[in-house]
């Protein structure tokens, strides 16, 4: 059995990554790989998340979120919401920024902010009934859309797809990260809202609307 | 091998384009459809004639188009090819006239005439194909284009007959496919006439080449209705008369026979075929089919079924002729290709006329038909005497050469087969003539399905008379320069001088 | 590697569909459909331009982010990829046109499944990404993009049957991807690079490589519905909407096959053995016989066509044994490699066109009759001539009767089989095509059979029939440029290559 | 037996358990959880190859790949759960019957 | 050009006459006109011609024996044509009879003048099949049965003939009929080929085993048709033999002895059997068979060798000529007694008497000549037992006279119409009587050398007066007549049947039919079995349908598919596939 499992020594890409780190615009090698060397993968990954949402819409149908004037919510839940929302937001923002030089980045921040959305949703404050429909869609697609249009822009300037000009690499990565975090958060909230909406209208067999 | 002229393609297109156009027409555009059809038919006959004279002057007509690196689509006009092309184009013209008369108020005529033209494109393609792969492509195309014709009537038994038809032809086609690919792999691309290729390889791959020969033979045997593979022919008699006339007398059945002629003469060469005694096997099968077909025909009361079984036995004459080595027997085989076509098409026309005018499908109902339809039954009688091999009708000529060839090759049992089959032919055809001319009909006045001055519609009468006279003329004027016999003799001689 | 010409097309090919998908999300259903159609046509045109560029420049690459592999990801578009992308473009465009009219004709309550368009555009982007990508992990991501969007499309109709088969399809897809990913991990662990070209040179035989090969092959076999793992395909493809099942059958399964072909030919040459090829061949053969027989037995139209897909994919798998040379035979001397490769390309192309046309025609019939039991086919020839002709032509191409594309595929396959001496595959190919003829002509038999009812078929928009017929005819037209296509394919080094299995132990590198 | 070999062995075990779970368990949710376990196993394999010895830096590429992998796995798991839920609502089925 | 006309004119006549309106009687003269070219060819020596375009390139020529027979045929067809026109005036199917009459005439002339194998066979076949129409003309059940037997025998004969021709042409290498006898002489299978020819033409000639159709067919046909059948067409078989037999080139003792003995057997057997018949026409048919017997003897002698063909064949030709005209006269004569009344009966009986005398070979008739010819050749030939054959020959004269007097006796019992009246068809009968020239003219037809050989130094005329020959010819006839008179007058001896023939006509056929019915039952059972097995053979695909269409298979396959669809089985499949691939990769 030993023979089967003897994984040969083969060195990874550590050295290569170390060498090119300065041109990547960020200090933390993982973020560099994630957002510069293999930006294409990450872009596709954002696409997958959006695709996941579309898939859930395909299953459950795109829902309308009626205005909620749910007064007198359970006081304990209100308190939890009031306390956690800012904390999560700040912690997310920190992770987002810290990603440049340490572990962190768009996905971690996005998840935390998504948690805020879901918390609000649970607390009766239906996020999507508050914000207008088109803004909701914009938020959903801003991460992927910006990344893609950046790529086209670079292509137009003759560079390769996602080949950031070395000078602005750091700034661009930061912008991409923030927008990605926002759209990830919105997508996760939308997923939860769509599925949650389901419980309310248990009865009517609604086909995917609009 | 490079393209020297586009004539072969023109000949093919002359029936392909009308076919496709008619598919797109609406059912009511009768005039347009008929004119398209007839124009195509005349154009094809004219071009074939022109090619024929061109060939006489020694011109060569090749058309080469390479499909894939070593898969070339080649059309070539040689004597044998022209011979069969002339047969199918002339008989197509006549059958189109007949079909127009036969179907004039029937449903789905567009579909019928479209596939009718496609089917003739396929059979002319088979005639003009220059190498084995093109032959195979048109051979399969023929199956596809004939299926809608067999099920044209749309009744349940027509569809069942179609199913049987497909079961055989597709099965045969697959076996042929295996054979053709195998041949291709062992001997590379073979153009008809290049028999030296296989001559070189026979010592190296004797078993493979033999297996391939018999695979291809089985594939061809299905369409040539040789014994174990003939089941589809009688069942597809349910098709309308022009279909069974052109297809089961000329196009489909002859494609198989023509294929066998090509296979033995132009691919393997007679020398090898005889040396590896392929011919002996073919002879045995052909002989058995001749007898079997005749015996089965003896016991059919349905008119077209009897004709079908007679076709089964008659086509095997060609196979038998090919199976006997010698210039005389191959002349007999090649000329029988045309003679059988003409005679059989007359018979089917006659059967069609009787069925359409009086609705009689059984032989027992044919009493006194001679008086009611003298011209049709007259032509039928000429064809009957041809089939039995009584001079001066055409059939005698081919049987004469087959007999002489058999004697020359010293296989006397073949003569015995010829005699027994002639006797059987007489046994199942003469009663029909006897009923038609020498018996009184049961009831005097019989209502006619298609009233009219003539014995039946003009469009159906003329073709019968024409083909009847043709089968007589092919016999009486056999020795004349352009006659089928002289061409066949020339082909056969060229074969053996090689 | 680096000397090949670069061009922006590969990036655009993936970017443009995603862009159009995103834009279409912002619009009302009518807008979504219109923008979706525009997106599809644009992508198709782009693909044709890319194809033309490859014909001129030969293999084209695009270093994403400007980084050299192994760190960066490389998009490579050689002749083989170009053909696949071209196929996706043509078939995709025609299906989109069909879908546009198909959803219009649907009843307004579901106002035309608006989500079809964004999902289909994502699927298209995934397919293009897959054909172009030269990086193992990136292939995983594209596989997932395709997997999720395909399942989402499959469940669009919302019926319970569709959902269950969709879930079965999704679970199979995830399992396949995960086992593929596990292989990628192993490869990365042992070589440290993910780029296919470099792997080809760097990888040497050993337990890890063999294990990786095993797991990745099985993963892709699941995604591709190879024989033991074809269970999810028939229900999924037959329960979904007509254009969707056409997409799934014609294009999606081809993606997984493409990766399997590339991996075996470019990466795992070192540890492959002749026997392994034979096993895949056996799996393919069983698929051919089993699929055709099942199709012959079904009584519902869409299930027949779905099972026929399982069979036709079997033919694709049967090419592998020809490409792996017995020990001692050098690739140069093996003259059956080029026909084998042509066979696989033509089988893919003709199947894509024919199967798409078949499913679209099935869609038309279901729309006209309401259900898809084959009894509904009666007297189809009398009423809907073009659909009958489409089914006829598509059927002929599936059977492989000349002069169709399928014939070219079967001819080359048989030639390869005979040249390589592995004659035992020949009867399987022939029995397969006989059985295919069985169920195709069963349908045609019914199409010609008479029916009692007066008006069996409700009127159906003429354009649908035209698109279905166009697809069927093009499965014949692809034969014409065969000569040029094969010369063009000779350009890519993987086309026509074979794996020489020198006498060496696969799994243990004990040579 | 370095530390990373233990990790890679556990990842293989997790993978096998996950695969077994997908095939053998009946209930939808069990199958979906099994896929997630399988995913976990695979990502652990990636990570276990990242750092072989205590000295050098960990190889960033597997980490990045794992992050991307996890997100993809999440998306597909979410979709699968939504599907399972919808099926349960429509038909009340919780496992695959072998119908069409 | 004349050659072409001999064939084309009758064909034209055949096609045109049916359209002549029933009332008018032109068809007779049309037929006479049609025979003119043949008559001309018969009389005047015209050089042969080759028609490249016809069939496989045929050529036409005549040698003396065939010219004599052609003359005979022309005369018969002309008179029969006239006779038929009058005889069938009120028959409803006149047109059809004329059509078949014309066709048969064309066939008959064609086969006589053609000198090449295929055209000979063509016209032979045309004559055979067209004469079927004549035989079946009256459409009575007896006629239909006779016609069917005639056709079956004719086809069997044709099959033997075509085989003989195949072999002959192959051995001689050329299509010309003239080349066949020398080829047969040398060829190893020469005898075999001649055997086939013997049987092939034997059917038409009515040689012993194959003759039974003749006594049924000839009487069944209307009088003019049977006249032509018996007179001209029976000779066609003889001509065929002449083409094939290598007379004078070869010594085939076995075959010649066999032919001679068969000939005499036919002569005596047929004559005796003929006596038992009641219908005059059947009686005549048997007399034809017995006369053809003598001709078989004549030819048989030739095959023994020693006699040059140039001498023997014209002699046979003359014999045929004499017999043909006389027999036609008698056959047509059978229609006269019922219609001829008054003074004309005298003329009728005189003609009939002369006819009988000619056939029996009585003095002052052509018959005398022909008998003498046979005697001289028999005398000279080195055939063993030639003397006994001479005796038999004279005896045959006795039996023939006996048979024919019985014929006259039968005719005399037909009631004469009251009042003197002469039917329109008496004229052609009288013409035939004159045109026959059977009593004086016939020897002039012979070639000079044969005449010289025959009559020695004495001229023809004085030969007639030479007492000895006359006496030698007279006494057998006298005895025949004497016996006939005795049996009629003396009651005890008068056993002549009047109503029912003692033995059924066409004796041999009844045995065959008996055996045939038994056989037929057996054959039919065998064929029924064959067709049933063949039906199953015909439909191998039906076996496949039964499997593929049956519901059970559909359920079983659906069950198999659902097994494969279960997740756990897929898992096991995965595992097994994994293991096998793992081991295969080692």
Q: Which of A84-93, B25-34, C252-261, E368-377 has the lowest mean pLDDT?
A: E368-377
Instruction: Give SS3 for B251.
Output: helix
Determine, for residues C15 and A151 on separate chains, whether the beta-carbon distance falls below 8 Å.
Answer: yes
Host H or E run for residue B67: strand B62-68
CB-CB contact of E244 with E194 (8 Å): yes
Q: CA-to-CA distance for B266 and B282, rounded, in angstroms? A: 16
Q: CA-to-CA distance for E162 and B396, rounded, in angstroms? A: 11
**Cα-Cα-Cα-Cα dihedral sign, residues E567, E572, E576, E582:** positive
The pLDDT > 90 percentage for chain C reads 52
Q: Domain span at residue B493?
A: 297-498
The pLDDT > 70 percentage for chain E reads 88
Domains of chain D (ranges; CATH) run: 3-91 (1.10.287.3510)
pLDDT band at C220 (very low <50, low <70, confident <90, very high): very high
C31 in reach of chain A (CB within 8 A) = no
Query: Å from B399 to nearest chain E CA?
Result: 10
Q: CA-to-CA distance for B336 and B324, rounded, in angstroms? A: 14
Give the closest residue to C361 by CA, choosing from C242, C228, C453, C492: C242
Decide which of B247, B276, B305 is a domain's last residue: B276
Pick the more confident residue, B141 or D50: B141
pLDDT higher than 80, residue A27: yes
pLDDT at E490: 72
pLDDT at D100: 41
| Domain range summary for chain A, segments of one domain joined by + | 74-197
* pLDDT tens digit sequence for B383-405: 999 999 888 888 888 998 999 98
Q: For residue D16, report the phi and psi dihedrals to the nearest 5 degrees.
A: -65, -45
Total domains in the fold of chain C? 1
Q: CA-to-CA distance for A9 and C294, rounded, in angstroms? A: 49
Segment A69-96 shows an average pLDDT of 83
Beta-carbon contacts of residue C380 (< 8 Å; ≥ 6 apart): C365, C387, C388, C391, C446, C447, C457
CB-CB contact of B66 with B73 (8 Å): yes
Task: Calculate the average pLDDT of chain D.
Answer: 87
Residues B252 and B110 both lie in one domain: yes
Which chains would you list as touching A if contact means 3+ CB atom pairs under 8 Å? C, D
Give the closest residue to C233 by CA, choosing from C213, C257, C259: C257
CB-CB contact of A183 with A139 (8 Å): yes
Beta-carbon contacts of residue E462 (< 8 Å; ≥ 6 apart): none
Determine, for residues B148 and C448 on separate chains, whether the beta-carbon distance falls below 8 Å.
Answer: yes
Instruction: Identify the DSSP state of C133.
Output: B
pLDDT at C313: 93
Q: For residue A36, report the phi and psi dihedrals to the nearest 5 degrees.
A: -125, -60
Beta partners for residue C61, in sequence order? C6, C76
- Entry field: residues in chain B: 498
Residues B242 and B323 both lie in one domain: no
Segment B339-368 shows an average pLDDT of 88
Instruction: Give SS3 for A36.
Output: helix
Q: Provide, as residue numbers in chain E, all residues whose Cβ is less than 8 Å from the Cβ of B231.
A: 537-541
Q: For residue C478, report the phi and psi dihedrals to the nearest 5 degrees.
A: -65, -15
Segment B211-233 shows an average pLDDT of 90
Task: Calculate the average pLDDT of chain B.
Answer: 87
- Give CA separation, B58 vs A121, B86, B192, B492, C58, in Å: 93, 18, 18, 17, 47
Pick the more confident residue, E382 or B86: B86
Pick the more confident residue, E102 or B1: E102
For B465: left if phi > 0, alpha if psi spans -120 to 50, otherwise beta; the answer is alpha
Instruction: Give SS3 for B230.
Output: coil
pLDDT at C180: 95
Q: Which of B88-97, B186-195, B278-287, C344-353 has the lowest mean pLDDT?
A: B186-195
pLDDT at E75: 85
Tokens of D12: 């293989």
Of E52, E122, E136, the CB nearest to B392: E122
Residues B338 and B264 both lie in one domain: no
Tokens of C367: 């729309």
Q: CA-to-CA distance for E375 and B318, rounded, in angstroms? A: 54
Instruction: Identify the DSSP state of B203.
Output: T
pLDDT at E66: 84
Pick the more confident residue, A130 or B236: B236
CB-CB contact of A160 with C65 (8 Å): yes
Of C229, C273, C296, the CB nearest to E585: C273
Determine, for residues B391 and E122 on separate chains, whether the beta-carbon distance falls below 8 Å.
Answer: yes
Determine, for residues D45 and C185 on separate chains, whether the beta-carbon distance falls below 8 Å.
Answer: yes
Task: Calculate the average pLDDT of chain A.
Answer: 81
**Cα-Cα-Cα-Cα dihedral sign, residues E259, E260, E261, E262:** positive
pLDDT at E445: 65
Q: CA-to-CA distance for C125 and E375, rounded, in angstroms? A: 116
Q: From the centroid of its chain, how far is CA C108?
A: 32
Determine, for residues D62 and A52 on separate chains, whether the beta-carbon distance falls below 8 Å.
Answer: no
pLDDT at A210: 39
pLDDT higher than 90, residue C207: no
Cα–Cα–Cα angle for C267, C272, C277, nearest 5°?
115
- Give CA separation, A196 vs A67, A134, B328, in Å: 15, 21, 92
- Give CA separation, C65 vs A41, A151, C68, C132, C396, in Å: 11, 9, 9, 15, 47
Is B touching A (3+ C-beta pairs, cut-off 8 A)? no
Work out whether strand C324-325 and strand C499-500 pair parallel, antiparallel, or are unpaired: parallel
pLDDT at E464: 57
Task: Calculate the average pLDDT of chain C.
Answer: 88
Q: CA-to-CA distance for C469 and B427, rounded, in angstroms? A: 53
* pLDDT tens digit sequence for C362-382: 999 998 888 888 888 888 887
Give the closest residue to C245 by CA, choosing from C340, C344, C162, C126: C162
Q: Provide, as residue numbers in chain B, all residues whose Cβ is less than 8 Å from the Cβ of C402.
A: 136-137, 140-141
DSSP string, D75-97: HHHHHHHHHHHHHHHHH---B--
Give the closest residue to B286 by CA, choosing from B312, B243, B319: B319
Query: Å from C337 to nearest chain B CA?
Result: 13
Q: From the centroid of its chain, how far is CA E206?
A: 7
Determine, for residues C141 and D76 on separate chains, whether the beta-carbon distance falls below 8 Å.
Answer: no
The CB density around residue B244, as the number of other CB atoms within 10 Å, is 25
pLDDT band at A205 (very low <50, low <70, confident <90, very high): very low
Determine, for residues C229 and E573 on separate chains, whether the beta-carbon distance falls below 8 Å.
Answer: yes
Query: Å from C309 to nearest chain E CA?
Result: 15
pLDDT higher than 80, residue C414: yes
CB-CB contact of B411 with B324 (8 Å): yes
Q: CA-to-CA distance for C499 and E527, rounded, in angstroms? A: 63
Of D5, D61, D79, the CB nearest to A17: D61
Total domains in the fold of chain B? 2
pLDDT at C168: 93
- Entry field: residues in chain D: 100
Q: CA-to-CA distance for E199 and E262, rounded, in angstroms? A: 13
Q: CA-to-CA distance for B8 and B124, rounded, in angstroms? A: 9
Give the closest residue to E359 by CA, choosing from E308, E321, E412, E400: E400
Tokens of A25: 């615009």
Is B283 a member of any domain? Answer: no
The pLDDT > 70 percentage for chain C reads 96
Decide which of B231, B246, B276 is a domain's last residue: B276
A12 in reach of chain C (CB within 8 A) = yes
Q: How many CA atoms lie within 13 A of E144 on its CB side?
A: 10
Decide which of B276, B305, B324 is a domain's last residue: B276
pLDDT in tens, chain E (586 residues): 788 888 888 888 888 877 777 656 677 788 888 888 888 887 777 787 888 777 777 888 888 888 888 888 888 888 888 888 888 877 778 888 888 888 898 888 888 888 888 888 888 988 888 888 888 888 888 888 888 888 888 888 888 888 888 888 888 888 888 888 888 888 888 888 888 888 888 888 888 778 878 888 888 888 888 888 888 888 888 888 888 888 777 777 888 888 888 888 888 888 888 888 888 888 888 888 888 888 888 888 777 777 777 777 888 888 888 888 888 888 888 887 777 777 778 888 888 888 888 787 777 677 777 777 777 777 777 777 777 777 887 888 888 888 888 888 888 887 777 776 777 777 778 887 777 665 555 566 666 666 666 665 555 555 555 656 667 777 777 877 787 777 777 766 667 776 777 677 666 677 777 777 888 888 888 877 877 776 666 667 777 777 777 888 888 888 888 888 888 888 899 999 999 988 888 7
Give the closest residue to E439 by CA, choosing from E321, E280, E316, E296: E321
CB-CB contact of C153 with C244 (8 Å): yes
E568 in reach of chain D (CB within 8 A) = yes
Is B292 a member of any domain? Answer: no
Q: CA-to-CA distance for C496 and C323, rounded, in angstroms? A: 9
Q: Domain span at residue C369?
A: 273-494
pLDDT band at C466 (very low <50, low <70, confident <90, very high): very high
Question: If contacts are CB pairs under 8 Å, which of residues 163-192 in chain C contact chain A?
Answer: 163, 186, 188-192
pLDDT band at A209 (very low <50, low <70, confident <90, very high): very low
The CB density around residue E182, as the number of other CB atoms within 10 Å, is 14
Tokens of E579: 């293991």
Which chains would you list as touching E if contact means 3+ CB atom pairs under 8 Å? B, C, D
Residues B327 and B208 both lie in one domain: no
Give the closest residue to C477 by CA, choosing from B67, E222, B376, E137: B67
D90 in reach of chain C (CB within 8 A) = yes
pLDDT at A48: 94
DSSP string, C158-207: --HHHHHHHHHHHHHHHHHHHHHHHHHHHHHHHHS--BHHHHHHH---SH
Q: Provide, as residue numbers in chain B, all residues whose Cβ is less than 8 Å from the Cβ of C396.
A: 144
pLDDT at E393: 79
Query: Å from C246 to nearest chain A CA?
Result: 19
Is C71 a member of any domain? Answer: no
Q: For residue E280, report the phi and psi dihedrals to the nearest 5 degrees.
A: -55, -40
pLDDT at A24: 80
């Amino acid at each position: 059995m030993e023979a089967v499992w003897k994984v040969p020594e083969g060195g990874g890409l550590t050295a290569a990554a170390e060498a090119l780190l300065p041109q990547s615009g960020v200090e933390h090698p993982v973020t560099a790989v994630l957002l510069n060397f293999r930006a294409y993968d990450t872009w596709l990954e954002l696409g997958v998340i959006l695709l996941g949402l579309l898939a859930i819409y395909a299953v459950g149908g795109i829902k309308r979120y009626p205005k909620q004037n749910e007064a007198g919510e359970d006081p304990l839940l209100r308190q939890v919401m009031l306390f956690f929302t800012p904390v999560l937001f700040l912690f997310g923002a920190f992770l987002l920024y810290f990603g440049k030089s340490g572990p962190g980045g768009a996905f971690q921040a996005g998840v935390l902010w998504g948690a805020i959305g879901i918390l609000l949703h649970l607390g009766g404050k239906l996020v999507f009934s508050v914000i207008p429909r088109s803004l909701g869609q914009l938020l959903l697609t801003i991460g992927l859309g910006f990344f893609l249009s950046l790529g086209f822009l670079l292509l137009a300037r003759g560079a390769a797809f996602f080949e950031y000009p070395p000078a602005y690499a750091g700034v661009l990565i930061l912008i991409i990260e923030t927008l990605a975090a926002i759209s990830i958060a919105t997508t996760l909230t939308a997923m939860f809202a769509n599925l949650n909406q389901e419980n309310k209208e248990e009865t009517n067999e609604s086909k995917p609307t609009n | 091998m490079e393209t020297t002229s586009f004539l072969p393609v023109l000949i093919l297109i002359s029936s392909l384009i009308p076919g496709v156009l008619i598919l797109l027409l609406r059912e009511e555009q009768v005039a347009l459809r008929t004119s398209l059809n007839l124009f195509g038919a005349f154009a094809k006959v004219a071009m074939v004639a022109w090619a024929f004279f061109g060939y006489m002057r020694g011109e060569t007509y090749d058309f080469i188009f390479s499909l894939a690196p070593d898969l070339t689509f080649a059309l070539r006009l040689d004597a044998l090819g022209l011979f069969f092309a002339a047969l199918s184009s002339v008989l197509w013209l006549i059958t189109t006239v007949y079909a127009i008369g036969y179907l004039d108020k029937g449903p789905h005529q567009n579909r019928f005439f479209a596939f009718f033209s496609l089917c003739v494109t396929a059979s002319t393609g088979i005639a003009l194909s220059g190498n084995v792969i093109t032959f195979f492509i048109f051979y399969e195309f023929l199956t596809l284009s004939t299926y809608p014709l067999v099920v044209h009537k749309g009744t349940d038994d027509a569809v069942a007959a179609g199913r049987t038809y497909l079961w055989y032809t597709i099965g045969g086609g697959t076996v042929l496919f295996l054979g053709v690919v195998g041949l291709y792999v062992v001997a590379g691309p073979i153009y008809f006439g290049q028999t030296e290729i296989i001559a070189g390889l026979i010592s190296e791959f004797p078993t493979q080449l033999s297996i391939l020969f018999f695979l291809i033979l089985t594939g061809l045997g299905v369409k040539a209705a040789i014994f174990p593979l003939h089941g589809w022919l009688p069942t597809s008699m349910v098709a309308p008369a022009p279909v069974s006339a052109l297809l089961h007398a000329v196009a489909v059945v002859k494609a198989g026979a023509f294929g066998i002629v090509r296979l033995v003469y132009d691919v393997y060469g007679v020398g090898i075929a005889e040396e590896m005694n392929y011919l002996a096997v073919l002879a045995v099968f052909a002989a058995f089919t001749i007898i079997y077909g005749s015996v089965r025909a003896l016991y059919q009361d349905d008119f077209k079924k009897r004709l079908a079984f007679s076709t089964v036995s008659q086509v095997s004459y060609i196979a038998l002729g090919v199976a006997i080595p010698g210039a005389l027997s191959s002349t007999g085989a090649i000329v029988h290709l045309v003679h059988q076509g003409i005679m059989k098409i007359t018979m089917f026309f006659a059967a069609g006329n009787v069925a359409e005018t009086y609705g009689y499908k059984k032989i027992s109902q044919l009493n006194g038909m001679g008086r009611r339809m003298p011209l049709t039954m007259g032509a039928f009688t000429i064809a009957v005497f041809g089939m039995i091999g009584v001079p001066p009708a055409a059939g005698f000529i081919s049987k004469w050469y087959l007999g002489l060839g058999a004697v020359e090759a010293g296989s006397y049992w073949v003569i015995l087969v010829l005699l027994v089959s002639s006797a059987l032919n007489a046994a199942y055809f003469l009663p029909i003539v006897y009923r038609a001319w020498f018996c009184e009909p049961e009831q005097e006045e019989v209502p006619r399905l298609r009233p009219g001055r003539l014995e039946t519609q003009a469009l159906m009468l003329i073709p019968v008379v024409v083909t009847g006279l043709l089968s007589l003329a092919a016999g009486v004027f056999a020795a004349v320069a352009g006659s089928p016999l002289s061409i066949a003799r020339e082909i056969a001689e060229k074969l053996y001088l090689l | 590697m680096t000397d090949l010409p670069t061009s922006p097309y590969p990036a655009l090919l993936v970017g443009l569909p995603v862009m159009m998908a995103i834009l279409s999300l912002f619009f009302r259903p009518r807008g979504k459909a219109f923008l979706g159609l525009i997106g599809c046509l644009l992508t198709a045109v782009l693909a044709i331009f890319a194809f033309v560029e490859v014909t001129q420049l030969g293999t084209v690459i695009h270093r994403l982010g400007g980084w050299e592999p192994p760190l960066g990801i490389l998009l490579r578009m050689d002749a083989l990829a170009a053909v696949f992308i071209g196929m996706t473009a043509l078939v995709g465009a025609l299906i989109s046109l069909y879908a546009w009219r198909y959803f219009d004709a649907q009843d307004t309550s579901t106002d035309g499944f608006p989500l079809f368009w964004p999902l289909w555009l994502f699927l298209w982007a995934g397919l293009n990404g897959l054909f172009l990508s030269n990086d193992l992990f990136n292939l995983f991501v594209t596989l997932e993009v395709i997997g999720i969007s395909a399942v989402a499309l499959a469940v669009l109709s919302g019926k319970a049957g569709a959902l269950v088969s969709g879930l079965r399809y999704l679970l199979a897809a995830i399992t396949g991807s995960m086992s593929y990913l596990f292989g990628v991990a192993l490869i990365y662990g042992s070589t440290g690079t993910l780029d296919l070209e470099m792997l080809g040179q760097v990888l040497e035989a050993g337990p890890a490589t063999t294990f990786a090969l095993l797991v990745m092959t099985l993963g892709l076999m699941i995604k591709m519905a190879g024989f033991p793992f074809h269970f999810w395909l028939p229900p999924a493809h037959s329960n979904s909407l007509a254009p969707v099942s056409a997409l799934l059958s014609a294009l999606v399964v081809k993606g997984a096959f493409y990766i399997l072909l590339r991996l075996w030919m470019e990466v795992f040459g070192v540890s492959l053995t002749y026997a392994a090829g034979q096993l895949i061949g056996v799996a393919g053969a069983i698929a051919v016989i089993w699929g055709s027989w099942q199709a012959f037995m079904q009584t519902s139209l869409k299930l027949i066509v779905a099972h026929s897909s399982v069979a036709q994919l079997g033919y694709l798998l049967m090419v592998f044994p020809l490409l792996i040379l017995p020990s001692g035979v050098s690739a140069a001397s093996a003259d059956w490699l080029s026909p084998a490769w042509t066979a696989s390309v033509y089988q893919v192309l003709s199947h894509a066109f024919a199967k798409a046309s078949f499913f679209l025609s099935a869609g038309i019939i279901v729309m006209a009759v309401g259900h898809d039991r084959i009894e509904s086919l009666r007297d189809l020839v009398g009423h809907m001539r073009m659909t009958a002709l489409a089914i006829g032509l598509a059927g002929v191409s599936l059977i492989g009767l000349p002069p169709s594309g399928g014939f070219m595929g079967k001819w080359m396959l048989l030639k390869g089989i005979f040249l390589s001496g592995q004659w035992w595959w020949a009867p399987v190919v022939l029995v397969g095509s006989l059985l295919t003829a069985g169920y195709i002509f069963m349908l045609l038999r019914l199409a010609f059979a008479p029916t009692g009812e007066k008006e069996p078929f409700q009127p159906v928009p003429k354009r649908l029939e035209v698109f279905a017929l166009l697809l069927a005819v093009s499965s014949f037209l692809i034969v014409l440029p065969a000569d040029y296509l094969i010369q063009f394919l000779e350009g890519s080094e993987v086309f026509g290559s074979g794996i020489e299995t020198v006498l060496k132990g696969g799994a243990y590198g004990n040579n | 037996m370095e530390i990373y070999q233990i990790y890679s062995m556990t990842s293989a075990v997790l993978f096998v358990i996950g695969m077994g779970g997908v095939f053998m368990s009946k209930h939808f949710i069990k199958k979906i959880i099994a896929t997630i376990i399988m995913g976990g196993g695979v990502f652990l394999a990636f990570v276990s190859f990242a750092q072989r010895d205590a000295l050098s830096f960990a190889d960033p590429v597997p980490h990045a790949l794992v992050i991307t992998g996890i997100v993809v796995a999440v998306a597909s798991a979410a979709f699968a759960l939504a599907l399972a839920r919808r099926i349960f609502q429509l038909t009340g089925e919780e496992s695959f019957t072998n119908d069409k | 050009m004349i050659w072409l006309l001999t064939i084309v004119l009758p064909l034209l006549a055949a096609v045109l006459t049916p359209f002549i309106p029933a009332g008018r009687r032109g068809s007779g003269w049309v037929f006479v006109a049609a025979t003119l070219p043949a008559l001309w060819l018969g009389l005047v020596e015209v050089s042969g011609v080759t028609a490249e375009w016809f069939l496989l390139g045929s050529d036409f020529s005549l040698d003396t024996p065939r010219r004599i027979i052609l003359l005979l045929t022309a005369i018969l067809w002309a008179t029969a044509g006239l006779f038929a026109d009058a005889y069938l005036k009120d028959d409803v199917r006149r047109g059809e009879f004329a059509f078949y009459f014309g066709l048969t005439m064309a066939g008959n002339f064609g086969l006589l003048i053609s000198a090449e194998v295929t055209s000979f066979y063509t016209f032979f076949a045309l004559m055979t099949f067209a004469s079927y129409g004549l035989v079946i003309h009256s459409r009575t059940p007896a006629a239909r049965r006779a016609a069917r037997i005639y056709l079956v025998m004719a086809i069997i004969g044709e099959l033997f003939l075509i085989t003989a021709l195949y072999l002959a042409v192959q051995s001689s290498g050329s299509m010309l009929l003239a080349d066949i006898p020398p080829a047969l002489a040398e060829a190893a299978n020469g005898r075999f080929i001649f055997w086939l020819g013997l049987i092939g033409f034997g059917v038409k000639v009515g040689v012993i085993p194959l003759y039974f159709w003749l006594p049924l067919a000839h009487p069944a046909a209307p009088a003019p048709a049977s006249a032509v059948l018996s007179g001209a067409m029976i000779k066609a078989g003889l001509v065929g033999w002449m083409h094939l037999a290598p007379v004078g080139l070869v010594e085939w003792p076995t075959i010649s002895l066999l032919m001679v003995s068969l000939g005499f057997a036919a002569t005596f057997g047929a004559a005796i059997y003929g006596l038992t018949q009641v219908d005059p026409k059947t009686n005549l048919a048997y007399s034809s068979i017995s006369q053809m017997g003598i001709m078989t003897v004549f030819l048989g002698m030739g095959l023994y060798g020693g006699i040059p063909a140039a001498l023997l064949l014209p002699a046979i030709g003359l014999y045929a000529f004499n017999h043909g005209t006389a027999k036609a006269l008698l056959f047509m004569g059978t229609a006269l007694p019922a219609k001829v009344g008054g003074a004309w009966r005298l003329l009728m009986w005189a003609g009939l008497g002369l006819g009988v005398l000619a056939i029996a070979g009585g003095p002052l008739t052509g018959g005398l000549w022909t008998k003498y010819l046979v005697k001289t050749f028999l005398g000279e030939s080195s055939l063993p037992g030639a003397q006994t054959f001479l005796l038999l020959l004279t005896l045959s004269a006795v039996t023939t006279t006996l048979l024919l007097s019985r014929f006259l006796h039968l005719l005399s019992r037909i009631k004469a119409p009251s009042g003197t009246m002469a039917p329109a068809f008496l004229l052609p009968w009288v013409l035939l009587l004159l045109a026959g020239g059977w009593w004086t003219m016939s020897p002039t037809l012979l070639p000079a050398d044969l005449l010289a050989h025959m009559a020695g130094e004495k001229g023809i005329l004085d030969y007639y007066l030479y007492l000895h020959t006359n006496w030698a010819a007279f006494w057998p006839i006298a005895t025949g007549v004497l016996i006939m008179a005795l049996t009629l007058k003396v009651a005890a001896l008068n056993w002549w049947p009047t109503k029912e023939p003692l033995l059924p006509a066409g004796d041999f056929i009844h045995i065959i039919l008996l055996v045939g019915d038994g056989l037929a039952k057996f054959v039919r059972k065998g064929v029924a079995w064959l067709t049933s097995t063949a039906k199953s053979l015909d439909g191998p695909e039906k076996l496949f349908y039964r499997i593929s269409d049956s519901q059970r298979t559909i359920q079983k396959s659906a069950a198999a598919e659902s097994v494969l669809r279960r997740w756990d089985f897929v898992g096991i499949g995965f595992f097994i596939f994994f293991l096998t691939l793992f081991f295969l990769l080692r």
